[in-house]
Chains A and B, each alone.
Chain A
Amino acid sequence: MSDAFVRLDHVQHVYGGEGGVLAVEDLTIAVKEGEFAAVVGPSGCGKSTLMKLATGLQFPRAGSVVVGGEKVSKPVKMAGMAFQNPVMLPWRTTLDNVLLPLEIVEPHRSRLRKEKAAYVEKAEALLAQVGLKGFGPRYPWQLSGGMQQRASLCRALIHEPRLLMLDEPFGALDAFTREELWCVIRDLHAAKKFTVILVTHDLREAVFLADRVFCMSARPGRIVAEREVNLPRPRDLDVTFSPEFAEIVHELRGHIREARNVH
């Protein structure tokens, strides 16, 4: 598994100093370049911690984190992130929110002023792709929760990151919107082939989207099971009603049940 793009090796992380919260322990996970990985586990088990470790927002007390062949010792500078809470900036229009990463990441940062029109066009194309055509000039608080979440996906992708981190991004949405956004993410991933790590508590979501699903134990979290999802792509929503799909979900549910009991 030397071809891993994101690799956490026997990682331990503690919040707060001595006697703090042991969030993850002996956590080992490897995600290949271009792969769509999903992480499932009981709430509070350290899934968000895993995301923060992999992006260099937190540093492990023990073990190593390597992303793109480099040991992570500062924020990774290239990851796109989206959370359950879309956290759009309310004083910027949706379009300007989507353009925000370009004001930070090089080489866009120094080009943005000169090539504004081209970047705006790109952002608008991306908005159209997630079903927000024409909503660029609106303010985020004029959009519904699901629309804001779409926009936040655009913001996570505008700078074409090699790594997309999604932390329960569809958790707060209704079932129909959620399934619509599954398809949006599926298509974006199919078109650009970036690496995705998706944290979710929805097993169907994990199986529908991912190439590989990791199950975490209760806190302190570590990976207790890993399941390849070999359903053929492109996957259609109908696949969620197939027996193969149900079987994988069922198997994962078994792992989660065990994970919740073991302490």
Chain B
Amino acid sequence: MTQKQKIALAPWVFTIGFFLLWEIGCRVFNVSSFVLPTPLSIGKAMWEYRTQLSFHSFHTLWMTFAGFAIAVVFGLGLGLLLGSSRIVHAGTYPLLVGFNAIPKVAVVPILVIWFGVGWMPAVLTAFLISFFPIVVNVATGLATIEPETEDVLKALGASKYDIMTKVGLPRSMPYFFGSLKVAITLAYVGSVIAEYNASKYGIGNLMARASADFNVPLLFASLIALAVLGVVMYAITAWIEKRMTGWAQRSGFAAN
């Protein structure tokens, strides 16, 4: 087997191994299914609740994508603004960092007061929690233009707008797409938190109800569904990143 094949096989081996150990551990130590169900019983629960799980997963996906979409537009815009004006950057940075430091769980009750229980808090929480890394990354991409590149263009009479569109924007794209992976995961966390606290639908809500009913297998089944969805969304954004900014990923270091 070549090194490459081994690397391709490794994730499967490790994942299956993890669940095997879990199953064996539970049986050997006779762990109560009320504390930690075995993977097999979780699998059974997933099959049993498949309609509920898929319905609520779909809802969570929607909330996540909606919040994420707003975050992308807003984050890109604000990042470009911050990256192109030092005054705006200096002025708004403390505010941004302060806002980002607030745990978003604390914001959900306020959103509920404003918009009531429903899809609004979920979408907005997803948005609020995920725009920050996009802003920071895009601003960084703009701020790290080589001074020589800027000199070459300025000596030709290029305007600030020219420099922004010819160099700044394309240059910040790898940073932007790189931040999407982080942002989508955060948006997902945001929508689940909001659903848990303030919604009638979504995996978060399903878990809240399962937890109230002490339905431990359903709770774990939901967790696994969350993990699978998270991996899928991460993979999609990683794939988009790779497609859009191939020129930035030419180094062998990143490829290995």
> Residues of A at under 8 Å CB distance from B?
52, 55-57, 75-81, 83, 85, 87, 89-91, 100-101, 103-105, 139, 141, 155-156, 159, 165
Contact = CB atoms under 8 A, between A and B. Distances in A.
A76 B157 CA distance: 7
Given A77-B156, A159-B156, A91 B170 contact: yes
- Among the interface residues A77, A89, A155, which one has the most CB atoms of the partner chain B within 10 A? A89
Q: Give the dominant DSSP class at B's interface.
A: helix
A100 B166 contact: yes
Is the interface on chain B under 10, 10 to 19, 20 to 34, or 35 or more residues? Answer: 20 to 34
B112 interface: no
Nearest to B250: A141
Contact of B155 (A57, A100, A103): A57
B247 A81 contact: no
Contacts of A103: 162, 166
B213 interface: no
B27 to A, nearest CB: 55
Interface in B89-142: none
B151 A91 contact: no
Contacts of A81: 151-152, 155
Q: Give the dominant DSSP class at A's interface.
A: loop
A78 B151 contact: no
B157 A57 contact: no
Nearest to A101: B156
Given A52-B151, A90-B248, A100-B166, A85 B146 contact: yes
6 contacts: A56-B155, A57-B151, A85-B146, A89-B170, A105-B156, A155-B152
B176 to A, nearest CB: 13
Nearest to B163: A104
Contacts of B24: none
A70 to B, nearest CB: 13
A128 B250 CA distance: 26
A149 B91 CA distance: 40
B166 A83 contact: no
10 closest A-B pairs by CB: A77-B157, A79-B155, A55-B155, A87-B148, A75-B154, A104-B156, A91-B247, A104-B158, A87-B149, A83-B148
- Among the interface residues B154, B162, B171, which one has the most CB atoms of the partner chain A within 10 A? B154
A81 B153 CA distance: 9
B167 interface: yes
A85 B148 contact: yes
